[in-house]
Amino acid sequence: MDKALLELIRISHAVGRDSTLVQGGGGNTSVKTADGKYMYIKASGTALKDMSRKKGWRRMRLDVVLSIIKDKSITSLETHAREIEVVNRLLLACDDEVSGVARPSVEAHLHGFLDRCVIHLHPSSVGAYVNAKNGKAELEKLFKDEKLPPLWVPYTDPGFTLAKKIARLVDNYQKRLNKKPAILFLHKHGLLITGGTADSALRLVRKVINRCNSKLRQPKGGKIKSISQKKINDAERYIRKAFFEATDERTTVSYFYDDEIAAFLAQPDAEQMLSAGVLTPDELVYSNGPAMWVVAPVAKIESQNIANRLRQQIEKGDRHAVAFLVKDVGLFVAGKKKIAQTVRDIVAYSAFIRSNAKRMGGIRCLNKRQRDFINRWEAEAFRKKVAKGEIGKH
């Protein structure tokens, strides 16, 4: 067995088993072979922690992966055709005996031109900075003593354009500093760490996360209160009703109430923080945008109000909310049970980021053009595959 594959499994388990690192749906890893010919990379559809010698990864020919970025015939394609072509090319770059249809991570091409071991994550600790208006300046302060300064990657639509942009930025960085960057902060996206060895990459991940966390705080007031069953039942029933009226879909509604949700509900400006807009592509894809703020008690009038707001979202061409934060009651999620837990995690992730980002100059949200791109590309093409279980989040 190739040493690089063993290293990939080791870093994937180390990162994947740490719940503070794999929040927000993000997470992929890769390790290049010593001869520089191949790259082992996480496959979509298997969680990092579940990677084994038999599954959860693909081996790709590095020269083929790198050629995708440089191919001018791809650049000239229309967006949708281009992203399909890239996914197919990535699949063609695979050279292994892995059975089944597992695709390499859709972010594979941007791993190609980075250092030997790559760890990519969307941790909320980094999210607080990369989604704040002054986040870049704050990160520069935090990491000013690094021998190799972190590389800041301005927001770019995911997929091919992002890979191309990172390739260019890394190239410039290398010309300036004679080294590849070790830490990359991706605006409104996440973190990329690269290192020559698995150990150095893992050490650097922990260092960056700890340093980011040193200036952040969990919102206070997160004590769970006892809430009457009647309030919960009423809210659940009226949200279900409003959802049906606005969307014509019958749905189940799941209820969540825990320290993180309670803490956010207790923020005096929670409603304002949510109204800032859609935070990240993950939030848009996995929970249709931010949770809708609802004032308790949820009775008939409030139910009509929720239905009207959902209709307005649909009329504007936005995705309608599936998460509802009801003041003094908790979080309600419309949709299938197994998806509801993911939505809950995204809501808690987004709440932590919003609470911290507002102290760093304010929350920076996705604009209409950026949202439309995600809706068209990721939300349509990829959501279907995610729903069918063909691919994971990465």
| Count of positions on this chain that bind Zn ion (CB under 5 A) | 1
Name the DSSP class of 363: B
Number of C-beta neighbours around residue 66 at 10 A: 15
Give the shortest CB-27-to-Zn ion separation in angstroms: 8
Give the shortest CB-364-to-Zn ion separation in angstroms: 17
Tokens of 110: 């941007």
Closest CA to 278 of 288, 268, 264, 269: 288
- Specify the residue, 20 or 272, whose C-beta has the smaller distance to Zn ion: 20
- Specify the residue, 26 or 150, whose C-beta has the smaller distance to Zn ion: 26
**Residue 112 touches Zn ion, criterion: CB under 5 A:** no
Give the shortest CB-164-to-Zn ion separation in angstroms: 15
Residue 349 to residue 25: CA distance in whole angstroms: 10
β-pairing, 323-326 vs 330-334, is: antiparallel
- Specify the residue, 204 or 274, whose C-beta has the smaller distance to Zn ion: 204
Residue 250 to residue 243: CA distance in whole angstroms: 8
Buried b (16+ CB within 10 A) or exposed e, 15-26: bbebeebbbbbb
Give the shortest CB-281-to-Zn ion separation in angstroms: 8
Q: Which residue is nearest to Zn ion (CB)?
A: 26
Give the shortest CB-121-to-Zn ion separation in angstroms: 8
- Specify the residue, 195 or 392, whose C-beta has the smaller distance to Zn ion: 392
- Specify the residue, 279 or 321, whose C-beta has the smaller distance to Zn ion: 279
For Zn ion, the binding residues in 13-72 under the rule CB under 5 A are: 26
β-pairing, 292-294 vs 323-326, is: parallel
**At 294, which helix (H) or strand (E)?**
strand 292-294
Give the shortest CB-108-to-Zn ion separation in angstroms: 12
Residue 188 to residue 120: CA distance in whole angstroms: 14
- Specify the residue, 68 or 163, whose C-beta has the smaller distance to Zn ion: 163
Counting Cα atoms < 13 Å in the Cβ hemisphere of 240 gives: 14
Point out which residues bind Zn ion (CB under 5 A). 26
